[in-house]
Amino acid sequence: MKKILFFAGSNSSKSINHKLVSFASSQIAGHEAELIKLTDYELPLFGEDIEREKGYSVDLKMLYNKIKEADALVVSVNEHNGMVSAYFKNILDWLSRLDRNFLEGKKVLLMSTSNGKRGAALALEYTKNILPRFGATVVESFSIPSYSENFSEETNSISNEVLLLGFTDVLQNFVHQIEQ
């Protein structure tokens, strides 16, 4: 049994990416799925002066340990102006300063969603390209465009049948990859 850590790269209390990653965590069988909120780990805006003067916070070390304890990650990234949010970038900055290879040996399923027709595709693509720099292997990715039209918050599920089939296929392939 593998331990899979799920989180969204958003700090919004109404994050649709958190809702998507929560749905994904509910679809895992036969493995331990842990859903966290990054907002439970307080990190200031990264700066070398802060790093030098205060070092690495307890919250940063706790998040780092959560990631290290997991066999695999499922991350849903949000998009601000065609880029990952400054919030998520800050998380990556801190983690990479603590340990440049903080994702070493981790297989990752990346997801994204937005109310736009591209489903945060630019943020997804950026994250797909950056995570391997920290040791991750991105084995799958999936994006849901037009969130409000394709995801039912009432049932906490993807409501578009074609997208649901695609998501199920991606998730099954991811699980197969982490079992190897």
Could you read off the pLDDT of 16-29 as tens digits, one per residue? 999 999 999 999 99
Q: Report the distance separating Cα 134 and Cα 90, nearest Å.
A: 14
Rg (CA), the chain: 16
Cβ atoms within 10 Å, residue 124: 26
Domains in the chain, please, with CATH? Answer: 3-179 (3.40.50.360)
Cβ atoms within 10 Å, residue 6: 25
Q: Pairing relation of β-strands 79-80 and 32-35?
A: unpaired
By the 8 A CB rule, do 82 and 48 touch? no
User: How large is the average pLDDT for residues 51-72?
Assistant: 98
What are the pLDDT digits (tens) for 62-109? 999 999 999 999 999 999 999 999 999 999 999 999 999 999 999 999
First and final C-alpha spacing in the chain? 11
User: How large is the average pLDDT for residues 28-49?
Assistant: 97
Using a cut of 0.95, tell me whether the model's pTM lies above it. Answer: yes
Predicted pLDDT at 180: 87
Tokens of residue 59, six digits:
């919250």
Q: Report the distance separating Cα 42 and Cα 45, nearest Å.
A: 10
Query: What mean pLDDT is reported for the chain?
Result: 97
Backbone torsions φ then ψ of 154, nearest 5 degrees: -65, -45
